[in-house]
Structure 1
Amino acid sequence: MRRTPVAVAVLTVALALVGPAVIGPAQASAAQIERVDNLTPTRAAVFIDSPAMGRTVQVQVLHPAGGGPRPAYYLLDGLDPGTSQSTWTNATDAERFFAGANVNVVLPVGGEASYYTDWQRDDPKLGHYGWETFLTEELPPLIDTRFNGNGVNAIGGLSMGGNAAFILAARNPWLYRAVAGYSACPDTGLAMGAVMFSIANRGGNPINMWGPPGSPAWAEHDPALLAERLRGKTIYLSSGTGIPGPHETEIKPQLAENIFLGGPVEFGVNACVVSFEQRLRGLGIPARVDYSATGTHSWSYWQDTLHASWSTIAPAIGA
């Protein structure tokens, strides 16, 4: 497992924060839809009683008004997701973009600093996370039954959600035909320090997720080590360089944050994407990787790459 100086520093702090007793992996059992609120003719809020999560979980679904069986695109949020709706629908034009497309776009709500995985321990700040079991075992049959799905899936996400999309695809290769990461680093070993820092920065204990760095679970959630399992899938990745680009001229409240925080973050992501692409090429696994000469870690660029990626993802799932 690769190490970084940041990983060592974060580990030193995190080891002092070890949480409550280890819990067993969540088991998918009688997950069921509690209710569906039809927000518009093509957007629904679905509330699911999830044994894996130990609570009711909301997902929102963008879907055609009618039509025959269709695939699903699971689209994951970032480190600070929306609490009442996915940030994809309030920070981008995703709802309008997918209008009329022959696909169910499934948008989980919540999951702050979760990496959409099953945590080994409940976290005093973040709570109980059984996201992998929920997303891969409980949710798909419910979505397909309720929204006329055909069992064909893709998964994608931005930043943390993009990391998670590659982890889920590598760990559950039978479930997805395509995987996409928008400004995401799908190399858990290389990103270890950033992953641990991001969780600790939100008040969580990163040790509660997969144990201390070097534990087997970290390798078991590393797409770079599991890359062979991605063979045969359609793969999309995108990254900017951190250099301010055209969207930084837009008047937005988060403009300074995009430049002074989103710039360095995207610079680091870019290095990781280059490394991961080289890993795939070395294995002879094709991928579409869109590099931009500019662009920070911010929503306007993710909207652009969501649009750009669809011409790759849609044919892979027959959308």
Structure 2
Amino acid sequence: MKRSIVRTLAAVTAAIAPFATVSAVAPAAQAASVSAAQKADGIAPAKISLNTETQGLSEDTTTWRSIIKSWNDKGFDNIQEVSAYSPSMKRHIPLVVIQPKDKEKRDNAPTLYMLNGADGGQGIANWIRQTDIVTYYGGNSDPSKGTVSPGIGANIVIPMTGAYSYYTDWVTEPNTSEIKGPQKWETFLTRELPQAIEPALKANDKRAIAGMSMTGTTSLLYAQHHPGFYDSVGSFSGCAATTTGLTPKFIDLVLNRGGTDFTKMWGPVNGEVARNNDALINAEKLRGQKNIYVSTSSGFPGEHDMPWSERVNGQLSSAAPVIFEGAVIEGATNACTRDLARKTNALGIPVKYNFRPAGTHQWGYWQDDLRGYWNDLVNGLGTGAERPKLQPTKPISPEDYWAGSTSGS
């Protein structure tokens, strides 16, 4: 019981804290436009190797590679692993890149950066394992292979490492069994990577950022820290506040799993760095950001939590943590999101809020968010892709990878 409570609190923290093997260098004519502000600080671009397995990763943190292979074997040549070397972190970062299934839509496509939760996608909690993002956002015309959809017409870039990092720039350099070396994730994802991956994919200058659970906070912070850089922002089951009340203690529960703590990440709770990473305090900085979508459920069990649902599929041992832990976590994110809504409404900042009357903190609802976010996303990216009519959703194709995961950790 004690272990379950600790796991629940840690998960709450994650929610409320926030194809050639060569380096690809695109010709100048193909390079995406990155804002002057992103280049002016002299940050060097990442080095990109398309269709390349990132070296030095343990097998238990790369089970997602089998999913890429499964899709490739099904004829989906639009999903690949990309290795990106980060100058600031001095290591190679694995990415999953999903391009439009329709080859005619690939050149000059916009880019969606999609963030996993607290485990960085290294376990079973990631977008390609838990949702139909490959077919629904990438596109698919064959109902036998998954959700039928025209796709959003964008390149989707998903980092597949970064457990317990909060995808932020740390004030110290941790050296634990779980987290080692410089943690400069915001520098990498907003400075180094866009300068490299967008030209390599022949992308245009439109981009969006979205995340769930822990990274539902991160996506809001990136939009605040880099005004004008994103054309759309998605935050699913996250929490804007990170420094008030007991939140720093909850954050420590997650960071302790990586052998570190809040002060090593952001310094003193009331310090400048920490407060700069509180999206509720800095809600005013969302002014001018277009196409913001923020979602949360109530915490009451919903359609994806029932034992007979396709997600649970009669696995009662899986249904219990989904309903208990997921309810507690989502109840917390619901309160956080209502705080943000009150503040943005008072400030006159337009945000599309999706308050679901039922649902817990689990992937069935984040798959629903792929649908709920569609219009705000494609409006920002300018693709004009029409959202397909509502279809019954299945766990995943080509296999069921769910395995009972509830939170983003």
TM-score (norm 2): 0.68
2:300 alignment counterpart:
243
- Secondary structure at 1:142's aligned position in 2? helix
Paired letter, 1:28: I
| Number of positions where the alignment pairs a residue of Structure 1 with one of Structure 2 | 295
CA distance in 1, matches of 2:125, 2:222: 19
Match of 2:243 among 189, 207, 212: 189
- Secondary structure at 1:181's aligned position in 2? strand
CA distance in 2, matches of 1:86, 1:45: 17
CA distance in 2, matches of 1:52, 1:85: 28
Structure 1 residues 310 and 111: alpha-carbon distance in aligned structure 2, compared to 1, 3 A threshold: same
- Secondary structure at 1:156's aligned position in 2? strand
Q: What is the root-mean-square deviation of aligned Cα atoms in Å?
A: 2.1
- Secondary structure at 1:248's aligned position in 2? coil
Range with bigger deviation, 178-187 or 64-73: 64-73
Whose Rg is larger?
A: 2
Paired letter, 1:123: P
2:219 alignment counterpart:
165
Per-residue Cα deviation, 1:27-84 (whole angstroms, up to 9, x for no partner): 8325211342495411121101111221000111111233331211111111123228
Range with bigger deviation, 227-236 or 285-294: 227-236
Does residue 66 (structure 1) correspond to residue 104 (structure 2)? The answer is yes
Q: Which has the higher strand share?
A: 1
Indicate if the aligned counterparts of 1:158 and 1:184 stay in contact, CA closer than 8 A.
Answer: yes
Per-residue Cα deviation, 1:8-41 (whole angstroms, up to 9, x for no partner): xx9xxxxxxxxxxxxxxx9832521134249541
How much identity, in percent, do the aligned residues show?
Answer: 32
1:34 alignment counterpart:
49
Structure 1 residues 52 and 85: alpha-carbon distance in aligned structure 2, compared to 1, 3 A threshold: farther
Paired letter, 1:101: I
TM-score (norm 1): 0.86
How far 1:217 moved relative to its partner? 0.5
CA distance in 1, matches of 2:167, 2:319: 28
1:5 alignment counterpart:
none
CA distance in 2, matches of 1:236, 1:53: 31
How far 1:157 moved relative to its partner? 0.3
CA distance in 1, matches of 2:191, 2:241: 24
Per-residue Cα deviation, 1:120-171 (whole angstroms, up to 9, x for no partner): 1112221231100000011112221111211211111001111111111110
Q: Give 1:23-102 correspondences, 5 Å limit.
A: 28-37=43-52, 39=72, 40-64=76-100, 65-67=103-105, 68-83=107-122, 87-98=126-137, 99=139, 100-102=151-153
Structure 1 segments unaligned to the other structure (5+ residues): 1-9, 11-25
How far 1:276 moved relative to its partner? 0.4
CA distance in 2, matches of 1:150, 1:84: 32
Match of 1:294 among 358, 363, 387: 358
1:231 alignment counterpart:
287
CA distance in 2, matches of 1:109, 1:274: 30
CA distance in 1, matches of 2:218, 2:278: 10
Paired letter, 1:115: Y
Q: Which has the higher contact order (CA 8 A, sep 6+)?
A: 2
How far 1:303 moved relative to its partner? 0.5
CA distance in 1, matches of 2:162, 2:270: 24
Structure 2 segments unaligned to the other structure (5+ residues): 1-9, 11-40, 53-67, 140-150, 307-311, 384-409
Indicate if the aligned counterparts of 2:45 and 2:191 stay in contact, CA closer than 8 A.
Answer: no
